[in-house]
Structure 1
């Protein structure tokens, strides 16, 4: 909690001491931190490996763009509506996915994720296809980097607090129980599929919020947001930071984006560097950066 407090204080003061580049980078990190935290509800707490989580990020992004620009609805309606649409899509898709387990669950999430990408790619009249949806009508009061930074901070902080309350509630402990021993949870009367479906919907909803923020941040959205590599990227963030920690995926998101920005200035072989980093993490820090920090702290005590 002390670490979180210090991080929040630094983020609040950042626009006062940093330039526009720092503000833009910090805003992007916060958006992907929320995306990674939403994925961790499935992987870290539910033990569910989804290869199609980017679909809900993209659904939220496109919903925000279309409702704001094409339909012309007010922002106060559009922002929550985009999250609700993502959650409803996650409900429909999750209803079928949670009927399967392990690798079959993962493959089905990948199939649905690619279906969402195909719809975004082919529905040119609405999404812009491979050209993308460019020129999102961002409200004037948000179309200022520092204002949008603080808006993103408030939204991400509120969503993180809600997720923290969820994972530390009776439902959160039950979700962990289904991860640890599905058969025993079913034996004592837990409706495992229902518990997992709720987690699927919650993760999809928060991913939709992150997608909406990303659309507002870039003033555009492209089909790559729904491609399977985006799902792989958020999985890498979670593993890098540590799926066993609530804040780990956010740390992983910050680490990955910072490495991406600064290493690409030195070499064009960023994918190779990323592969080496992942191998090092998997072999030497299997619990991620936060897991390694926790172990060092316990040894010190």
Structure 2
């Protein structure tokens, strides 16, 4: 895929998403909204794994933080929407800052296991703190602003927010900080030798990734008018990992494509069978064995052969 084709394909995809509500089909509007939200979630995860080489098994914790914080700020505390939404994002960033402070002290498998431990801790708090989160029943009946209750209106709101977030992440990964983060991924020791504070760079990336995951979580709460503890469970972190691997780890738009593909596969499969986890496992095996670089990598290789 050439440098010229990337912006052209990106603009074409954006136009298609912008025109999707014109179909008038609520199913496609809901499906498109879900793809947009989880695409942002996967993109935030790829900032850690693809660009920082940091494998987190607890990334759903920040998605859940944003989701619950948005619900509590809007409904329990009755804050204005702008304050509630911004507060939810800030809460996710703060949670990521605290957890990341401890996680970046470790490396490789120890880092991954510590993120899993913190992720399960967040789930336990959401599950046990029934008076605040609703526990296993979930936080139902979120006070979504009247202006966002229309599926089409909310779709465009989510699209605008996600496009702004994607643009911000694009600028970030192509900045000096982004290249420094990639240097820590490629060779941590060499980066430290030339004076890079690896822990600080990874910590900042951890916080930024958590913040954007919080944006996705807040949007998901507004989309569903509710939030449940499953959002913080380890399987939610595994799902975003699969989205990223399916699209292509390290590819900027790969996670967006992977999120869309996985959600569409899910909807099609559940129409015919209840064994979606089995199908998901089969998809992952096929990707790992035959498309290790994901869908984007396979497309690039095919394009290279056709030249």
With normalisation by structure 1, the TM-score equals 0.99
User: Given the alignment of the two structures, is residue 168 of structure 1 paired with residue 170 of structure 2, yes or no?
Assistant: no
1:76-117 CA distance string (max 9 Å, x none): 111111101100110000000000000000000000000000
Matched, 1:261 2:267: yes
Aligned length: 301
| Residue segments in structure 1 that go unaligned for 5+ positions in a row | none
Contact 1:242 1:249 in 2 (8 A): yes
Counterpart-to-counterpart distance in 2, 1:273 and 1:134: 30
- Aligned partners of 1:270, 1:110: CA distance in 2, in Å? 24
Cα drift, residue 296 of structure 1:
1.5
Residue 105 in structure 1 maps to residue 106 in structure 2: no
- Alpha-carbon distance between aligned partners in 1 of 2:80 and 2:267, rounded to the nearest angstrom: 34
Maintained 8 Å contact 1:244/1:291 = no
Look up the SS of the partner of 1:45 in the other structure: helix
CA distance in structure 2 between the aligned counterparts of 1:115 and 1:126, rounded to whole angstroms: 16
Residue 230 of structure 2 corresponds to residue 235 of structure 1: no
Deviation at 1:18, TM superposition (A): 4.1
8 Å CA contact 2:49, 2:250 repeated in 1: no
TM superposition shift of 1:270: 1.4
2:120 counterpart of 1:114 = yes
Aligned partner (choices 13, 30, 36) of residue 30 of structure 1: 36
Q: State how far apart, in whole Å, the 2-side matches of 1:249 and 1:142 are.
A: 27
For residue 263 of structure 2, give the secondary structure of its aligned residue in structure 1.
Answer: helix
2:283 aligned partner: 277
Which blocks of at least 5 consecutive residues in structure 2 are unaligned? Answer: 1-6
Q: Is the counterpart of residue 48 in structure 1 residue 30 in structure 2?
A: no
Distance 2:304 2:86 in 1: 42
1:237-278 deviation per Cα after TM superposition (whole angstroms, max 9, x unaligned): 000000121000010000000000011101122111111111
SS in 2 for 1:62: helix
